[in-house]
Copies of this chain bind each other. A is one copy, B any other.
Amino acid sequence: MKAIGIVVEYNPFHNGHVYHIEQARKSTSADVVIAVMSGNFLQRGEPAFVDKWARTTMALQGGADLVLELPYVYATAHAPVFAKGAIELLDAIGCDAFCFGSEDGDIKPFEQSISVLQNAGDKYEQIVKEAVQSGLSYPKALNEAYLYAVQLSGQSLPVADLTKPNNILGFHYMQAAREINSTMAAATIPRIIAGYHDDADDEQTIASATGIRKSFFDFDTLDSVRNFFPQGTFNTLTAWRDDKGSFGNWDSFYPLLRFTILREGPKRLAEIADIAEGIENLMFRAAKNNNTFEGFMSEVKSKRYTWTRIQRMLTHIYTGFTYEHRNEIGSASYLRLLGMTEKGQLYLNKNKKKLKLPLISKAAAFSDPSLQMDIHSADMYALGIAHNTNPPIVGGDFKRTPIILP
């Protein structure tokens, strides 16, 4: 059975994702599609719209055959670390190839880019470092060094445009695969949605997840975004709303975040992963002054830090993830199975012995600091969600077994 791996967040799963899965399967003639998916906190440093179990259900309904959890430590990290974790998992589960969305859907420019940077060597890292020290944001520093390396190489063939978010991730997937000497092939398919931050246009049936969420929060009804979902997603989201009454986002998590920032104080905040350079003082002051997340962010945001980078720090504050915690965690060390179709199950049965990492069906059966953080962050997420009908279940993630769909 040929397996293609994809890296996803599904926040939430929509028609564009159905298309993405279909294309990935077709373009690589794969039998099974394996998705590595973020847990309850996402790469942009946000709580997910709905939790990983609801998103797994939607993914399986929408065409994925296996869903693995990308551990918290990777899922909430910047692109190089995020990509490394995801690629390690796809490699360990035995994928023949991985496939990502890019602006142009052409893998060649990515290959040129990798080769250009390989030739630039240490010089590249050094430029990145200097650019960050000079006050540039990390993505901008990367791009600066990249442009320099391209120029230096005299490369005349097209290289990937690394100012586009999807291209950046794709590039890092390929670099990570190289680093671990993976035998996986790389493939890419073109994005079909115009811009990442575009609003959902209700005359279309495909919009970005960001646009869908924005439209949802603006109109406060799932009907306003119904066109963009497969029926399964719509049902899952409706059931979630009926049970909880609210969806995950920083606006509704802010009272707990604010309490935590003020309780901790700058000194203890400085122990939290990614907090540096005195931003803890700024955050403490902003939490004092602001009753809303929007107000808080507008006080903390500056040129020096991207919105995403600040949000990642806030995620770590919210979950209590310290530098010390992070230091205990090394490379990817387990495959946490969130769900599978019968075909996915067949794949696992056939490849059981080839897996490079232990497959975890029930978290309680395995002990690992990274897995503990996955479970802990799921509990923290549950406490942030309002609960209409049932109070938050804490410790549920620890006992839960994978979702199995036909």
Contact = CB atoms under 8 A, between A and B. Distances in A.
Interface string A249-278: 000000110111011110010000000000
Contacts of A260: 259-260, 263
B395 A289 contact: yes
A376 B288 CA distance: 11
A381 to B, nearest CB: 11
Q: Within the oligomer, what is the number of copies of this chain? A: 2
Contacts of A320: 263-265, 268
A268 to B, nearest CB: 8
A394 interface: yes
A391 interface: yes
A159 interface: no
Contacts of A391: 291
The dominant DSSP class at the A interface is helix
A395 B263 CA distance: 13
B380 A263 contact: yes
Interface-centre pick from A259, A287, A379 (highest chain B CB count, 10 A): A259
A339 B352 CA distance: 73
Given A320-B263, A320-B265, A380-B262, A288 B255 contact: no
Contacts of A262: 376, 379-380, 383, 394
Q: How large is the interface on A (under 10, 10 to 19, 20 to 34, 35 or more residues)?
A: 20 to 34
B289 A259 contact: no
A319 interface: yes
Contact of A392 (B256, B291, B318, B380): B291
Contacts of A392: 291
Contacts of A289: 394-395
A383 B264 contact: no
A70 B256 CA distance: 28
Contacts of A380: 259, 262-263
A371 to B, nearest CB: 15
B319 A383 contact: no
Nearest to A258: B383
Interface in A274-294: 287-289, 291
Contact of A319 (B255, B263, B268, B318): B263
21 contacts: A256-B256, A256-B259, A258-B383, A259-B383, A260-B263, A262-B376, A262-B380, A262-B394, A263-B318, A263-B319, A264-B320, A265-B320, A265-B376, A268-B320, A287-B394, A288-B379, A288-B394, A288-B395, A289-B394, A291-B391, A291-B392
Interface of A: 255-256, 258-260, 262-265, 268, 287-289, 291, 318-320, 376, 379-380, 383, 391-392, 394-395
Closest 10 CB pairs of A and B: A291-B391, A263-B320, A288-B395, A288-B394, A259-B383, A256-B259, A262-B379, A263-B380, A262-B394, A264-B320
